[in-house]
Amino acid sequence: MSTMPSRQPKRKDAIRTRAALLAAATECFARQGYEATNIRAVCAKAGANLGAVSHYFGNKERLYREALVLAHRELVAREPVPQMGAGDSPRRALRNWVRYLLRIFLLRRAAHPYAGRLIAWELRDPTPALDDLIAEVLGPVRQALNQIVAAALGDADEPELRARCANFVHGICVFHDQNRELLQRFGHPVPDREEELVVLADTIVEFAMAGIKRLRTQPSATSPRRRKTTRSRPSRG
């Protein structure tokens, strides 16, 4: 860890080795997550020595952070977060959003080969890097969904209801990624090709739009029509 040339590598070998290390790490982390990835395997795959990680990145965590940041930056650069255009209908916007998320998490050949898996792992087993990830990617993505839901809710839009609906859509999408094993055993393998994915996305959109519409006309659950005695002030008694 004496020098750690993260900037300005002094020799050509350096950038090559560093890049190889980063690439190998990205793949390993994407495949197995942070904990299960061991440095030795990464170095072997990169054709580098064991000490290389210490030398170039200091430790495992910093290597991971750099891989994660690089990957998600590239992902966003290649496939921007879908924003609801002025002329877009909520349905159309939602369709784009759902497809976007499913592509990232489900598709084998996504815009970035590893970013999706890296993000999925980070969501599953959060590390200190989650904050950055939220700030740069997950936050904006979620924000986009919130806006779509708000538009779909129209007059009935209200923070809690909006969040709830967004959670439902969000949940349906990530469920298919986070529960592959279970779905496999239930006989419903998760699609990993574009065509099937689009069908799934459209089904989700129909389902969700109807659900939102229902909650728009009858948001009984979150704010009871006739609130009966506020239960001795449950809020911060």
Partner DNA sequence: TTGAATGTCATACAATTGTATGATTTAATG
Partner DNA sequence: CATTAAATCATACAATTGTATGACATTCAA
Question: What residue ranges bind a copy of itself (CB under 8 A)?
Answer: 35, 123-124, 126, 130-131, 134, 138, 142, 163-165, 167-168, 170-176, 178-179, 181-183, 185-188, 199-200, 202-204, 206-215, 218, 220-222
What are phi and psi for residue 192, nearest 5 degrees? -130, 10
Cα gap 44→37, rounded to integer Å? 12
What are phi and psi for residue 186, nearest 5 degrees? -80, 0
Instruction: Indicate whether 26 belongs to the interface with DNA (CB under 7 A).
Output: no
Minimum Å distance from CB 128 to a copy of itself?
12
Q: Which is nearer to DNA, 28 or 81 (CB)?
A: 28
Among 26, 37, 165, 205, binds DNA (CB under 7 A): 37
Q: Which is nearer to a copy of itself, 54 or 127 (CB)?
A: 127
33: left (phi over 0), alpha (psi -120 to 50) or beta: left
Cα-based distances in Å from 236 to 163, 225, 231, 232:
21, 22, 12, 10
Minimum Å distance from CB 80 to a copy of itself?
21
Instruction: Indicate whether 16 belongs to the interface with DNA (CB under 7 A).
Output: yes
